[in-house]
């Protein structure tokens, strides 16, 4: 499943946000370095289509797609020097599909800032620099090895070239994702700054409705995507029933919680989409990449579905809603039989036919 690693300086609101995420009572302590162990939280990707499907099929339950978040503690200024970033830290972050960096933009004099003042641009630079330094160390080691392997004709020289190009970009001071660098030849290295980045600005409640300030912060990270939330409000939302939650959001000028936004933007940033299955038991969303073909998509449900794939009956969500039932969609020619070369579309309602 899709995993997003949450990083950020100490005391920027990671634990607070993470508590909201997991509905756990992980300690959110008002002092730096409180967060030591990584934790995993899962959020459901909100998808209003599932309710509609469950209505059409009288489904017993609804299973949305999910996004996992890993709370990755451990980045402080100078973290990549000396002992380097801890092994556990590196393992957690390498396994993440994307990185969400929480940036403090709230002003609360009671909460100590590790660098002494609230300065989002400088905080982001500290974190990004640590990630880039870690990547430089990784690359330097790899390049020595790659040079030997290329001399011994054991490695395609293009891999070495990619490593040298990545190193040059980092030395010029840009993260690999910001440079649009294609790190796929170097996948085995798990380069941190090559992962897609999402910035999460933890702002004062008043800022959420202040479009000028929001745009100013968004401009700091563009073209990377930014989410704006108030971690304290996110944690309050958790305890509320849906109506009260909607009211609290509305009072801050929002229509969707920050965590939902983060799940959605994470999906988008990684080029993911969902297709849907529905029946009396459940209406369910399945996560796939954009451009995936039908057999690969079937494989997400079960590997046997991919191996034994015959065809897929596909109805677009909109057509199904318009027709009101599968029978009607078939009668109107809206149910298509698609073969193994069919490229899946977001919101396809699918039934796979396969050999076991």
Residue list, annotated binding site: 11-16
14 in contact with ligand GDP (CB under 6 A): yes
Q: Which residues pair with 70 in a beta bridge?
A: 5, 40
CB closer to ligand GDP out of 111 and 143: 111
38 in contact with ligand GDP (CB under 6 A): no
CA-based nearest residue to 264, from 67, 39, 22, 56: 67
Positions 186 through 225 that interact with ligand GDP (CB under 6 A): 202
CB closer to ligand GDP out of 193 and 235: 235
To which residue do tokens 């890993």 refer?
70
Nearest distance in Å: CB 224, ligand GDP: 20
258 in contact with ligand GDP (CB under 6 A): no
d(CA 27, CA 227): 24
99 in contact with ligand GDP (CB under 6 A): no
Cβ burial of 205 (10 Å; 0-12, 13-18, 19+) is middle
Nearest distance in Å: CB 214, ligand GDP: 15
Backbone angles phi, psi at 300, to 5 degrees: -70, -30
CB closer to ligand GDP out of 15 and 283: 15
CA-based nearest residue to 298, from 275, 330, 268, 273: 275
Positions 280 through 299 that interact with ligand GDP (CB under 6 A): none
113 in contact with ligand GDP (CB under 6 A): no
20 in contact with ligand GDP (CB under 6 A): no
257 in contact with ligand GDP (CB under 6 A): no
Positions 225 through 254 that interact with ligand GDP (CB under 6 A): 230-232
Q: Hey, how many other C-beta atoms are within 10 angstroms of the C-beta on 117?
A: 8
Backbone angles phi, psi at 229, to 5 degrees: -155, 165
The only residue of 3, 34, 167, 334 in contact with ligand GDP, by rule CB under 6 A: 34
CB closer to ligand GDP out of 100 and 315: 100
Q: Hey, how many other C-beta atoms are within 10 angstroms of the C-beta on 316?
A: 17
Nearest distance in Å: CB 28, ligand GDP: 4
To which residue do tokens 């990004």 refer?
128
d(CA 79, CA 160): 27
Residue 96 and residue 192 in contact, taking contact as beta carbons nearer than 8 Å: no
126 in contact with ligand GDP (CB under 6 A): no
> Which residues carry a binding-site annotation for ATP?
11-16
To which residue do tokens 């790190």 refer?
183
Nearest distance in Å: CB 121, ligand GDP: 18
CB closer to ligand GDP out of 39 and 283: 39
CB closer to ligand GDP out of 79 and 350: 79
The pattern of x and - marking residues 172 through 191 that bind ligand GDP according to CB under 6 A reads --------------------
CB closer to ligand GDP out of 16 and 101: 16
111 in contact with ligand GDP (CB under 6 A): yes
Residue 267 and residue 289 in contact, taking contact as beta carbons nearer than 8 Å: no
Cβ burial of 53 (10 Å; 0-12, 13-18, 19+) is buried
277 in contact with ligand GDP (CB under 6 A): no
The only residue of 12, 163, 207, 217 in contact with ligand GDP, by rule CB under 6 A: 12
d(CA 101, CA 210): 21
Residue 39 and residue 272 in contact, taking contact as beta carbons nearer than 8 Å: no
Fill in the DSSP letter of residue 280: S
> Which residues are near ligand GDP by CB under 6 A?
8, 10-16, 28-30, 34-35, 106, 108, 111, 202, 230-232
């Amino acid at each position: 499943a899709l995993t997003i690693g949450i990083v950020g300086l100490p005391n920027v609101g990671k634990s607070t946000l993470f508590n909201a995420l997991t509905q756990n009572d992980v300690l959110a302590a008002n002092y730096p370095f409180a967060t030591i162990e990584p934790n995993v939280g899962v959020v459901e990707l909100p998808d209003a289509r599932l309710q509609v499907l469950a209505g059409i099929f009288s489904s017993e339950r609804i299973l949305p797609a999910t996004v996992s978040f890993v709370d990755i503690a451990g980045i402080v200024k100078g973290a990549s020097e000396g002992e380097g970033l801890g092994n556990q830290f590196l393992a957690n972050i390498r396994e993440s599909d994307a990185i969400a960096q929480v940036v403090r933009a709230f002003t609360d004099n009671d909460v100590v800032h590790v660098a002494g003042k609230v300065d989002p641009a400088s905080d982001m630079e500290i974190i990004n620099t640590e990630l880039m330094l870690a990547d430089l160390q990784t690359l330097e080691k790899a390049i020595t090895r790659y040079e030997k392997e290329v001399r011994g004709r054991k490695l395609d020289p293009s891999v070495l070239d990619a490593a040298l190009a990545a190193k040059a970009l980092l030395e010029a001071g840009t993260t690999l994702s910001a440079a649009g660098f294609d790190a796929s030849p170097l996948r085995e290295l798990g380069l941190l700054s090559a992962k897609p980045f999402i910035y999460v600005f933890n702002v004062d409640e008043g800022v959420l409705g202040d479009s000028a300030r929001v745009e100013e912060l968004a401009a700091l990270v563009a073209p990377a995507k930014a989410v704006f939330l108030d971690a304290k409000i996110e944690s309050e939302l958790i305890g509320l029933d849906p109506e009260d939650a909607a009211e609290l959001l509305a009072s801050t000028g929002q229509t969707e919680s920050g965590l939902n936004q983060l799940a959605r933007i994470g999906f988008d940033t990684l080029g993911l989409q969902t297709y849907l299955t529905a029946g009396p038991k459940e209406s369910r969303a399945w996560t796939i990449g954009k451009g995936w073909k039908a057999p690969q998509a079937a494989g997400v449900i079960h590997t046997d579905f991919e191996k034994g794939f015959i065809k897929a009956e596909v109805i677009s969500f909109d057509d199904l809603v318009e027709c009101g039932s599968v029978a009607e969609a078939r009668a109107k020619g809206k149910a298509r039989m698609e073969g193994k070369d069919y490229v899946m579309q977001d919101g396809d309602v699918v039934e796979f036919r396969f050999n076991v």
